[in-house]
Amino acid sequence: MLKLFSLLNLPLRRRIEALRPRLYRLAYSWCHDAALADDLAQEALIKALARGEQLRDQQALNGWLFSILNNCWRDHLRARREFTDVDDLDDAIVDDAPSPEQRYASRQTIQRVRLAIAALPLGQRQVVTLVDIEECGYAEVAAILGVPVGTVMSRLARARQALRQHFMTERTQDEQPLAANRAALRRVK
Amino acid sequence: MKQTEESLSRLYLDAFVDGELAAGERAQALARLETDATFKAEACELRTLKERVKGAYAEIPVLPARAHRRFRFGAAQALAAGVLLVVGIGTGWLVRDFGAAGPTFDRLAGLPAGYQAIALSEAIDRDKIILHLDSGESGRLSKVLDLADKLLAQQPGARIEVVVNSYGLNLLRADVTPLAGRIEGMARRYANLSFVACGQTVARLKRDGVKVELLPVAHTATSAINEIMTRMGQGWVYVKV
């Protein structure tokens, strides 16, 4: 069937476009690769503009766009990692480790936090970034990721516990060689 | 048991700091802050943790990204595509469903069920079609060629451009594609069929140290998105494979 980017009134299009920086930021917090984050944000934006008429409640625009971004991200990961099981995706720790230069820069606080986030399993990473960066409610996150609210809460708790431990370990082993961090970022099943 | 209590306590603390508690519970938690020093310290620590996460992404790399790459490659076409994208998105892609335009336009000849064709405006050329592939699955690689064959059988005069990016690039990588012979054969057979690789994907692979050698019949565009948006702006129909 031939279909046009359709029925999108101008204000809605503008609202969708205005969310591009947030899509990019969120995508970056998931993949820590600026070029990929840009591609993901762009792809989500194009899909949103093409599917605008599917949006029933314009108040839910942010969540709807984030959920499209989530699908783009998962499609990318499936293509890249050949995951077939969504549970595998959620639990996977993907080696999104920064380059050696970036690891050196990770002495800086911001890089340290990003490194810790990058080390989280994907499911936890998405939940904690949606809650803390985008300030989404638990129910909203559940709808975006298509998981039960209980799962959102448990992933969030585990993510935060992991972050606490990460920072605690960091404080006590501050002078450990950076290679130690590398091992923590290897993908595990 | 102790672990369960701890977990529940963590969930409660998370819900409180994230503003997820109901009004009554929240009032109780606020009162507890005054009397329970441990709870207060934990809430404080969690707020700090939240701020650290948020703060880590307050400033992120500024799209090295699309704008930079466009100009680095320097093609006027890329600039035109960028302008088109902005103008297209910003000022209004057509505002009605194509299905409502009548039966003349509601099918793309030769397009099998399961595919959706998308156009940017009403002024389309139904015989100019982009087939976009971004997956490296072997089934999809041959599917895009099957589809091109089918469309060209139905519309021998149609112009078809196969645009690949991401893992879809495998289709056109000389050392990777399982379909080199078929692609070259099709390119010889159909003068109106072209194959375009995404320059961004090629650049990214090269940056990662991957040697990228494309089939001789492949052209390279600045990026797949630019190519698609440019073509759609020219009235081409887009089909994702």
Listing DSSP states for B195-232 in one string gives EEEEHHHHHHHHHTT----B-TTEEEES-HHHHHHHHH
CB contacts < 8 A, A to B, total 152
Whether residue B7 has pLDDT greater than 90: no
pLDDT at residue A71, rounded to an integer: 94
**pLDDT at residue number A185:** 42
Q: Which of B178, B225, B177, B169 is nearest to B197 (CA)?
A: B169
Nearest to B167 among A37, A79, A129 (CB): A79
Judge contact between A32 and A98, C-beta under 8 A: yes
**pLDDT band at residue B86 under the 50/70/90 scheme:** very low
What pLDDT digit, counting tens, does each position of A78-131 carry?
877 645 555 556 666 555 555 555 544 444 678 888 989 999 999 999 999 999
Q: Is B7 on the interface with A (CB under 8 A)?
A: yes
Distance CA B77, CA B101 (A): 31
B194 to chain A, closest Cα gap in Å? 22
Query: Residue B99: which pLDDT band, with cuts at 50, 70 and 90?
Result: very low
Residues whose CB falls within 8 Å of the CB of residue A62, separated by 6 or more in sequence, listed in order: A19, A22, A134, A136
- CA B110, CA B152: separation in Å to the nearest integer? 8
Cβ–Cβ of B49/A160 closer than 8 Å? yes
Residues of A in contact with B96 (CB under 8 A): 4, 6-7
Total-model pTM: 0.52
Name residue B239's beta-bridge partners. B117, B131
pLDDT at A171: 64
Is B68 an 8 Å CB contact of chain A?
A: no
pLDDT score of B160 more than 70: yes
Question: What does the pLDDT read at residue A186?
Answer: 42
Give yes or no for residue B69 having a pLDDT over 50. Answer: no
How far B34 CA lies from chain A's nearest CA (Å)? 24
User: C-alpha angle with apex B96: B161 to B100, nearest 5 degrees?
Assistant: 90
Across the range B153-161, mean pLDDT stands at: 88
Q: Is B193 helix (H, G, I), strand (E, B) or coil?
A: strand
What is the pLDDT, as a whole number, of residue A96?
54
Please give the residue that has the higher pLDDT: either B176 or A60.
B176
Our CA-based measurement puts residue B185 at a distance from the nearest CA of chain A, in whole angstroms, of 27
pLDDT in the model for residue B135: 82
**pLDDT value, residue A85:** 55
pLDDT exceeds 60 at position B152: yes
Higher pLDDT, B97 or A1: A1
What phi, psi does B23 have (nearest 5°)? -55, -45
Q: Any idea which of A84-93, A100-109, B118-127, B186-195 has the lowest mean pLDDT?
A: A100-109
Average confidence (pLDDT) over B35-40: 90
In A, which residues are within 8 Å of B59 by CB distance? 110
